[in-house]
Structure 1
Amino acid sequence: MELIYKGKTKDVYRDSADDNGVVLFFKDDMTGKDGVFDPGENQVGLTVEGSGRAGLKLSSYFFEKINALGYPTHFKSADLDSRYMYVHPVETFGKGVEVICRFKATGSFIRRYGAYIEDGEQLDDFVEFTLKDDKRQDPPINEAGLVALDILQPGEHDVIVENTLKICKLIKEELAQRGFDLYDIKLEFGRDIKTGEVMLIDEISGGNMRVYKAGQKVDPLELVDLFFK
């Protein structure tokens, strides 16, 4: 396979067996700081054996659920042993846009708005857009800014918000059925290279969400173990 992009937690390859295919390799690297996992960090903070396979296993589960409901995603299939996810080729919005759905206030939301809300306080399904930019600490941006910078086309923002809420509520309900409380989750969207359709991309793993059980934070590996128990 030909390496296209080397990322912090995943590497992207062109699939030599499929001219119209891309392969994501899930690494055992996790975002965080000083050896502590944090999905909001912009750097690799630790390497945990098995975390790549765990992230792919949970991602595959949710992508299959989402695909079955008819929401467009880049997911085609996965090979857990090789830690490969086979996906449709897409183009990112600009240099990458992250979409965070917040059900409860925590993390960077509290760091910014802690004067107005307590950690863990309920939010009304708040959807936030940030630009993927490590140097500038992933700055938040609104619809007008995304359109003005030619990152999104008019109307795409509303499509992303609508799909984000549907997808995240599905994930929240799946977790709740197993006794987990989803505080927030980070998604990414892009455009299908052929059709231009807005679709869910990247991954849906414990490394992209904050999950609690009985008031205690659940780390990504433990989440996968308990989820599939």
Structure 2
Amino acid sequence: MKQGDLLYLGKAKSVYRTDKPDELLVVFRDDITAFDGQKKNVLAGKGGYNAKVTAYFYPLLEAAGIPTHFLAAVTPTAHLVRRLSMIPLEIIVRNRAAGSLVRNYGFAEGEPLSPPLIVMDLKDDSRHDPMINDEIILARGIAAAEELAEIKRLALAINAVLRENLAAKDLDLIDMKFEFGRDAAGMIRLGDEISMDSLRLWDHGAVGASLDKDVYRKELGDVMETYAMVAQRICGA
């Protein structure tokens, strides 16, 4: 596998072409951002922790029958992935109320949500990722009805796998953000990452005891110490 030209520069990852047109190289950088990029820092080692956790979860999901873009971890901070045509939606699955759900909709912090609640945002930084519903998605042609149904099915299936796995490690999965895309055959696959940047985790039984990017957003402690501890609890030695 040969790294080619830079294809996309995200907030915390760089995506490169390879010598195969249907495969890409995703490099996890040490950048960390919040509030649509208004707050940003570079924290040495952060990319490696997120890459490690993502590489732990993707084979677990594949084994559970969930199609993903992941092919292999080729370095501690780089993954070889299938090339997807990404669907510009952020799919948030919420198991308990936190964050914007509490601020905007009157839920109590930590309130259980059964069944889990799916919220979708349009992935558009210029519009601050507004919430979107099925009707707007269909009207905009962002996804077909059958694709949207498959995305929701997969999101709930992923949530179930992750929630069980994390509970065994005394981590409560509060909510998480997923992104999906279409592969060359049109199959919907999970893309992007599963890490402390995209999961909201609390220490088991402790409402609001953040072990994720909220530590950075809210300045709750040492971000890198938290990421290192969570990566070790999830992945082991």
User: Shared fold (TM-score greater than 0.5)?
Assistant: yes
Gaps of 5+ in 1: 33-40
Deviation at 1:155, TM superposition (A): 1.2
> Which one of 13, 21, 27 corresponds to residue 10 of structure 1?
13
Does the alignment pair 1:74 with 2:66?
no
Deviation at 1:226, TM superposition (A): 2.4
Contact 1:59 1:203 in 2 (8 A): yes
- 1:113-192 matches, within 5 Å, as 113-114=105-106, 117-124=107-114, 125-192=116-183
Q: Equivalent residue of 2:61, what SS? A: helix
Aligned residues: 214
For residues 78 and 109 of structure 2, the distance between their equivalents in structure 1, rounded to whole angstroms, comes to 36
Partner of 1:106: 98
1:186-227: CA deviations, max 9, x gaps?
Answer: 0100111x2111110000111101101141211333311222
Partner of 2:221: none
Partner of 1:53: 48
Quick one: percent identity of the two aligned structures? Answer: 34
> Which one of 189, 210, 234 corresponds to residue 227 of structure 1?
234
Give the letter for the 2:187 counterpart: E
Give the letter for the 2:112 counterpart: Q
Deviation at 1:111, TM superposition (A): 2.0
Partner of 2:191: 201
Deviation at 1:170, TM superposition (A): 0.5
Contact 2:24 2:83 in 1 (8 A): yes
Deviation at 1:45, TM superposition (A): 2.5
Partner of 1:89: 83
Segment of structure 1 superposing worse, 49-58 or 213-222: 213-222
Does the alignment pair 1:218 with 2:211?
yes
RMSD: 1.3
Give the letter for the 1:8 counterpart: K
Does the alignment pair 1:28 with 2:19?
no
Deviation at 1:3, TM superposition (A): 0.4
For residues 178 and 131 of structure 1, the distance between their equivalents in structure 2, rounded to whole angstroms, comes to 32
Q: Equivalent residue of 2:230, what SS? A: helix
Give the letter for the 1:3 counterpart: L
For residues 159 and 146 of structure 2, the distance between their equivalents in structure 1, rounded to whole angstroms, comes to 20
Contact 2:56 2:235 in 1 (8 A): no
Deviation at 1:119, TM superposition (A): 1.3
For residues 6 and 189 of structure 2, the distance between their equivalents in structure 1, rounded to whole angstroms, comes to 23
CA distance 1:197–1:228, shift in 2 (3 Å):
closer
For residues 107 and 53 of structure 1, the distance between their equivalents in structure 2, rounded to whole angstroms, comes to 26
Give the letter for the 2:28 counterpart: F
**TM-score (normalised: structure 1):** 0.89
Runs of 4+ in 1 over 3 A off after TM superposition: none
CA distance 1:228–1:197, shift in 2 (3 Å):
closer
For residues 136 and 221 of structure 1, the distance between their equivalents in structure 2, rounded to whole angstroms, comes to 33
